[in-house]
Amino acid sequence: MHKPAKVTIEDVAAAAGVSRQTVSRVINNGPNVKPAVRQRVEAMVEQLGYVPNLSARRMGGARSYLILSINDRARTFENWTSGRGNDWVDQMLYGGMSECERHNYHMVLELIDTDAGTTIPQIARAVGSLRPDGVILTPPHCDNLELVAWLERQGIPCARVGHYEGGNFVDVFMDDEGAMREVTRHLLDLGHRSIGFLAGPLNYGPSQKRRKAFREALAEAGIPPEAGPIGAGNFYFDMAVSVLETMLAAPSPPTAIIADNDKMAFAALHVAADRGLKVPDDLSVISFEDTPGVRFSVPPLTAIRQPTAAMVGKACAQLIALSKGEEGMGAFELPYEFVVRATTKAPRG
């Protein structure tokens, strides 16, 4: 069977009676194209079934139509290989790719080590190969000032998700400190006076902010530091299990747990079940994240719903605007939502 020839940009140009450059400008929604010419080219694109490729689109300008998103290599691989999923990555990809699709862009995910000696060489290879119009840095890369400075020297705009300190950057974030204060006060209002925090790694900026806000909220309520133990579960299920076993073995164990992500909240539910503790009767649990898997927890988790997809989508939108020569820099705080379900109540007694 004869395979039909692939329609090229030259075919569209010939059919519309214009140059290749004009077709490229129409595909890219570029300026300086008369309405009648644009309409004729669009009609030929549809009639011939032409699918533009990146090479053709780049003829319209210096843009690559690619946004590169950087994620923590070791943690992402560990989650995949352990079979425990990567819901955060799923949300990130959904938000970023959906926004890119709206602008006829593409988002590429690259996994980069966080070690000081390897981060920049790895990202340099990725940037050299892909020539992206912008780079999204997720935690902990968003807090790597050396990496941010390197991207600046290369003239590559970057958007930092989960980071904000002002300056001439694209920063997209939620109020991590405000969210932590809200959930801590929720537990205090229920009557809890011993609350544990399963924290993420110290090199994750949002986790640092939550640690700070947790301590401050307890101090404001007159709760001594020993009644607010913090353990580094580092976002891992097994590590959170170990930390929580130690917390609950204390003479005065916590009656409530705040987990820095859903995976560690699930660990709290497992440990409670293993110890014969009922949630929320014997132990209240709150999670940060609220990924789709939370809907299947028993009982349903009370959680802070992070706007992960929306934050990455906003980062893409701002980088795309910058690539078009439009205003894109700024700090953008997106709202979180505190979703109260069935894992918190007043402590016994």
Dist CA 249 CA 254 (whole Å): 10
Return the CATH number at 156.
Answer: 3.40.50.2300
Dist CA 254 CA 248 (whole Å): 7
Q: Please check whether residues 141 and 256 belong to one and the same domain.
A: no
Q: Please check whether residues 76 and 134 belong to one and the same domain.
A: yes
Dist CA 305 CA 71 (whole Å): 20
Pair of tokens at residue 7: 């329609």
Domain assignment present for 121: yes
Q: Please check whether residues 79 and 224 belong to one and the same domain.
A: no
Q: Which domain holds residue 292?
A: 176-305
Domain assignment present for 92: yes
Dist CA 172 CA 160 (whole Å): 6
- According to the model, what pLDDT value does residue 185 have? 98
Domain assignment present for 3: no
Q: Please check whether residues 157 and 197 belong to one and the same domain.
A: no
Q: Report the 3 state secondary structure along 77-137.
A: HHHHHCCCCCHHHHHHHHHHHHHHHHCCCEEEEEEECCCCCCHHHHHHHHHHHHCCCEEEE
Q: Please check whether residues 300 and 182 belong to one and the same domain.
A: yes
- According to the model, what pLDDT value does residue 349 have? 76
224, 157 Cβ separation under 8 angstroms: no
Q: Please check whether residues 291 and 197 belong to one and the same domain.
A: yes
Sheet strands (E) in the chain: 66-72, 106-112, 134-137, 158-161, 170-173, 195-199, 230-232, 256-259, 284-289, 302-305, 330-333, 337-339
- Relative to beta strand 302-305, strand 337-339 is antiparallel
Q: Please check whether residues 148 and 206 belong to one and the same domain.
A: no
Q: Please check whether residues 115 and 258 belong to one and the same domain.
A: no
Domain assignment present for 59: no
Provide φ and ψ at 115, rounded to 5°. -65, 140
First to last CA, the chain: 80
**pLDDT tens digits, the chain, 349 residues: what are they?**
445 567 888 999 999 999 988 988 887 767 789 999 999 998 998 888 787 665 555 555 568 899 999 999 988 888 778 776 668 899 999 999 999 999 999 999 999 999 878 899 999 999 988 999 999 999 999 999 999 999 999 999 999 999 987 677 899 999 999 999 999 999 999 999 999 999 999 989 999 999 999 999 999 999 999 999 999 999 999 999 999 999 999 999 999 999 999 999 999 999 999 999 999 999 999 999 998 888 889 999 999 999 999 999 999 999 999 999 999 999 999 999 999 999 999 999 7
Burial class (CB in 10 A: 0-12, 13-18, 19+), 264: buried
The residue type at 53: N
Q: Please check whether residues 115 and 261 belong to one and the same domain.
A: no
Domain assignment present for 254: yes
How many domains does the chain divide into?
A: 3
The structure's pTM equals: 0.82
Q: Please check whether residues 42 and 71 belong to one and the same domain.
A: no
Domain assignment present for 346: no
- According to the model, what pLDDT value does residue 62 have? 66
Q: Please check whether residues 227 and 130 belong to one and the same domain.
A: no
Q: How many other CB atoms are there within 10 angstroms of residue 111's CB atom?
A: 17
Dist CA 21 CA 25 (whole Å): 6
Domain assignment present for 57: no
Q: Tell whether omega for the bond before 140 is within 30 degrees of 0, i.e. cis.
A: yes
Return the CATH number at 20.
Answer: 1.10.260.40
Counted residue by residue, the chain has a size of: 349
If DSSP codes are grouped into helix, strand and coil, which group holds residue 335? Answer: coil
Domain assignment present for 40: yes
Q: Please check whether residues 158 and 216 belong to one and the same domain.
A: no
